[in-house]
Amino acid sequence: MVRLESASSINTYKQCPRKYYYQYIEKLETLSNIYCVRGNAIHSTLEEFFNLDTKILSNTNYEFELHIIAHEIFKKEWEKKKEELDVLELSSIKLAFFKKESQDMLNIWLKNFFKKLAKEVKDKTFRESFEKLRPETEIYLESKTYNVRGYVDAVHKIEGEIILMDYKTSSKDKMTDEYRLQLGIYSLLYFDKFGILPNKVGLDLLRHGERIIDVDDELIELAKRETLAMADRTISEEKEDYPIQKTRLCPWCNFKDVCKNNN
């Protein structure tokens, strides 16, 4: 059976074939964690932020108003995660820490957004500037050709260029091989659906700022090679065909106990 993969499932296989087997073939339960819950809350915050009707904002005090609105949206999204957060059984101190850390990331992101906005309002109105910077959000892309799918967080179309961006709350401040493959897959998906390659792809690292790369032949070939190879790599449904690959991440794997008990 050919599965519809994602950048996440492909990177999971590359990290450890056995982990891929447990998660995507045997479909064992995976536990949530604070990083996933927090990441979802921030992603939802930015998506709703860009869906704002700018008519409710003033032309002179918009930075202050946008700052207040963004944090109100985050507060609402955090409260919507209450049941998921309760399941994690974190202390009130830890919950407060992660909430504050998330708010700090949002402040960094807003600071960088306001810098972009300031450049635009020099020769445009605030609303025109916001519209120029407003991306399409949460775009679902799927390719039967390459058996892969994914959600692109933001698609910017600015001055004739198409730029795909993915939000990251990780503390990493570099373009890792995993991130590069993910962005290559998004580029391939976009081309497969719309018949045009994006000009650039990048990460919006909420702690550090944007890291953007050109979409070139090397990036597209990487995505094609890895997506097409997955069909052959995962044709079997036998556990033995998915060897354990020990890494420094093993102690934090959802399936570490299963591996211990079955091997």
Q: Quick one: pLDDT at residue 121? A: 92
Confidence class for position 263, pLDDT limits 50, 70, 90: low
Could you tell me which of 30, 26, 3, 4 has the C-alpha nearest to residue 242? 26
**C-alpha–C-alpha distance, residues 204 and 167, integer Å:** 5
Burial of 219 (0-12, 13-18, 19+ CB in 10 A): buried
Pairwise pLDDT comparison (59 vs 106), residue with the higher score: 106
Looking from the CA of 255 toward its CB, the CA atoms found within 13 Å total: 21
Cβ atoms 3, 24 nearer than 8 A? yes
Q: Quick one: pLDDT at residue 259? A: 83
- Report the Cα 218 to chain-centroid distance in Å: 22
Q: Quick one: pLDDT at residue 261? A: 65
Q: Tokens at residue 153, please?
A: 């967080």
Residue 151 has pLDDT above 60, yes or no: yes
State the alpha helices, DSSP H only, in the chain.
7-15, 17-20, 34-49, 62-80, 82-88, 92-120, 126-133, 177-194, 217-233, 256-262
Q: How confident is the model over 238-259, as pLDDT tens digits? A: 999 999 998 888 888 889 888 8
Q: How confident is the model over 35-90, as pLDDT tens digits? A: 999 999 999 999 999 999 999 998 889 999 999 999 999 999 999 999 999 999 99
Q: Quick one: pLDDT at residue 262? A: 65
Domains, the chain, ordered by start: 34-133 (no CATH), 135-232 (3.90.320.10)
Q: Tokens at residue 195, please?
A: 């018949």
